[in-house]
Amino acid sequence: MVQLDEILPNFSGFAISSGDLHLRLLDRLGSGSYGVVYAAQDISPESTSAQYYAVKCFLHLPEVTDYARLQQRELKNHALISDVPNVVRLHVILQEECYTFVVLDLCTGGDLYSAIMETDTYVYNTPAVKRTFLQILDAVEACHAKGVYHRDLKPENILCSHDFKRVFLGDFGLSTRSKRSSSFGCGTSLYMSPECLGVFHDKPYATAPSDVWALGIILCNVITRGRHPWHIASPNEDLCFQVYLQEGSAWLVRNLPISLEAAAILSRVLELDPKKRITIPELRKAIFAVKTFYPDGEAASSTVKS
């Protein structure tokens, strides 16, 4: 399958404008099946200081194509929640004859996955884990309140400020306005809930609790420096998940470097029945109350700052 970033031209040095906003595209930041993302500098005559943005570039395809419909859904949903704190702000969408340019806030700290794996930000650092995860909860809860359900929550879709003290939810390519969905297997398998995978039945599932499940896996990633409790939440395909269903939080404590209280929270998030799964307000309250996410407290790394 040809990816769109292989078709798009190199836009480095290209200028785009919308009203008083004039941007020059700089280095390429990333790419994928959707297109390409560039850093961009504000070159407006009125600009008194260097202002930078991220610009997502799509191929502009006829509206009858599935790709175009998905693209329009992503942009509409993102625009709807763009003013939510801890969501990447969408400034403007520029439609040209062949291309679409989406101007976004530039988050210079990279994504949360890189922060977890390549820095010591969260190593034995309960305050830092709390600070980041509570911001993610706030963003997801606000999106749900506006009727947008992400369906692909993972560290790669959460961006960081340069000092890692603020995080921002992005990439709404799989988001939906539907409270219930029949789109099974939607998202990234490591973060999919059992109901999203259609493990036990093929009935439509609630999208909000499915997002909450993904939040639990993200919390596990942040605490354990990128570890996952299982590869897929299906007892027929993953022995770890099968044993977890039998043993619950005891299995989590035995297999992951987490505290008893962290395991207790995760077992409420990773509840098989979406109707019994912890809600975001309940999860926020539980996270606030945590003394430590780690089995030996913070002593193992007392020099790490929050």
Residue 164 tokens, joined: 């890692």
Domain count, the chain: 2
Report yes or no on 306 lying in a domain: no
Predicted pLDDT of residue 3 = 58
In the chain, pLDDT over 90 holds for what percent of residues? 79
Residues 101, 119 share a domain: no
Residue 88 near residue 168, CB atoms below 8 Å: yes
Residues 38, 9 share a domain: yes
| pLDDT band (50, 70, 90) for residue 303 | very low
In the chain, pLDDT over 70 holds for what percent of residues? 93
| pLDDT band (50, 70, 90) for residue 40 | very high
Mean pLDDT in residue range 1-5 = 55
Predicted pLDDT of residue 244 = 97
Residue 241 near residue 207, CB atoms below 8 Å: no
Residues 165, 29 share a domain: no
Q: Which one has a higher pLDDT value, 301 or 165?
A: 165
Predicted pLDDT of residue 49 = 78
Predicted pLDDT of residue 98 = 87
Predicted pLDDT of residue 5 = 59
Q: Which of 152, 238, 273, 296 is catalytic?
A: 152
Q: State yes or no: pLDDT of 302 exceeds 60.
A: no
User: Tens of pLDDT along 66-100?
Assistant: 878 888 899 999 999 999 999 999 999 998 888 99
Predicted pLDDT of residue 213 = 99
Predicted pLDDT of residue 170 = 94
Question: Is 56 annotated as contributing to ligand binding?
Answer: yes
Residue 137 near residue 278, CB atoms below 8 Å: no
* Average pLDDT across the chain, whole number: 92
Read off the CATH number of the domain in which 198 is found: 1.10.510.10
Report yes or no on 101 lying in a domain: yes
- Is there a catalytic annotation at residue 152? yes
Report yes or no on 94 lying in a domain: yes
Predicted pLDDT of residue 64 = 65
Residues 242, 139 share a domain: yes
User: Tens of pLDDT along 183-237?
Assistant: 899 999 999 999 999 988 889 999 999 999 999 999 999 999 999 999 999 999 9
Read off the CATH number of the domain in which 18 is found: 3.30.200.20
Report yes or no on 52 lying in a domain: yes
Residues 235, 121 share a domain: yes
Q: Among residues 84, 105, 126, which one ends one of the domains?
A: 105
Residues 72, 132 share a domain: no
Residues 278, 197 share a domain: yes
Q: How far is CA 229 from the centre of its chain?
A: 18
Q: Among residues 105, 120, 140, which one ends one of the domains?
A: 105
Residue with tokens 């993953």: 238
Report yes or no on 178 lying in a domain: yes
Report yes or no on 191 lying in a domain: yes
Predicted pLDDT of residue 223 = 98
Residues 117, 100 share a domain: no
Say which amino acid occupies 69.
Answer: R
Predicted pLDDT of residue 300 = 46
Say which amino acid occupies 257.
Answer: P
Expressed as residue numbers, the domain containing 249 is 112-301
User: Tens of pLDDT along 116-161?
Assistant: 999 999 999 999 999 999 999 999 999 999 999 999 999 999 999 9
Residues 218, 101 share a domain: no
Residues 287, 197 share a domain: yes
d(CA 300, CA 128) in angstroms, rounded, equals 15
Q: Among residues 74, 105, 136, which one ends one of the domains?
A: 105
Report yes or no on 259 lying in a domain: yes
Residues 44, 169 share a domain: no
Q: State yes or no: pLDDT of 51 exceeds 50.
A: yes
Residues 174, 53 share a domain: no
